[in-house]
Amino acid sequence: MQIVLPCEDQELRIETSNRQFFRISRHETLPLQMELALVNLIQQELLVFKMMERLTFDLERRPDFTALALFRCIDRGNHGCIDEVNLAQFFKNNGIFLHERELAAIIRRIDTSGDQTITYEELNDFLKV
């Protein structure tokens, strides 16, 4: 059995962990309202994925774009990785102010090693999706 828990919200993690566990057999279904909510969530994820694919495709076709240039633009301190601090600064410099939770979500989506930072290789792989 695998449990999926929210990453950043400790109170929600605790509430989720303390819920009573209900086993659902192969031939049972979830309550209709829950199934519809899951379908909606998956549809929204697909829409975001398609939009990201289109935007990435458009970006990669620009003659002045390279993944390395993007990485260096965000990693201004030349630390070799992108963390919440320099990601927040990058967005702030471009007039976008994100909450810590949004920054963590961006990093979590790109970070494949789980160290809460983005390396050039991880960014490059993310852009190739």
Domain containing residue 116: CATH number: 1.10.238.10
Q: How many domains does the chain have?
A: 2
- The tokens describing 108, both together, are 């979590």
Q: Do both 96 and 44 map to the same domain?
A: no
Of 62, 78, 110, which residue is a domain's last? 62
Q: Could you say which of 37, 62, 87 is where a domain stops?
A: 62
**pLDDT attached to residue 16:** 77
Residues 92 and 73 in one domain: yes
Q: Is 1 helix (H, G, I), strand (E, B) or coil?
A: coil
Pair 72, 118 in one domain: yes
Phi, psi of 100, deg, nearest 5: -55, -40
End-to-end Cα separation, the chain, in angstroms: 29
Examine the domain organization and report whether 56 and 78 are in the same domain.
no
Examine residue 8 and state whether it is found in any structural domain, yes or no: no
Q: Is the pLDDT of residue 4 over 70?
A: no
Which pLDDT tens digit goes with each residue over 37-64? 999 999 999 998 899 889 988 988 999 9
In sequence order, what DSSP letters do the residues of 52-64 get, joined into one string?
HHHHHHHHHTSTT
pLDDT for res 8: 62
Query: Whats the size of the chain, residue-wise?
Result: 129
pTM listed for this prediction? 0.69
Cβ atoms of 107 and 84 closer than 8 Å: yes
Please indicate, yes or no, if residue 123 is contained in any of the structural domains.
Answer: yes
Q: What is the pLDDT of residues 72-128, one digit of tens each?
A: 999 999 999 999 999 999 999 999 999 999 999 999 999 999 899 999 999 999 988
The residue-averaged pLDDT of 21-32 equals 83
Whether 80 maps to a domain, the answer reads yes
Give the pLDDT of residue 118.
97
Q: Give the residue numbers spanning the domain of 35.
A: 29-62
CA angle 97, 99, 103 (to 5 degrees): 95
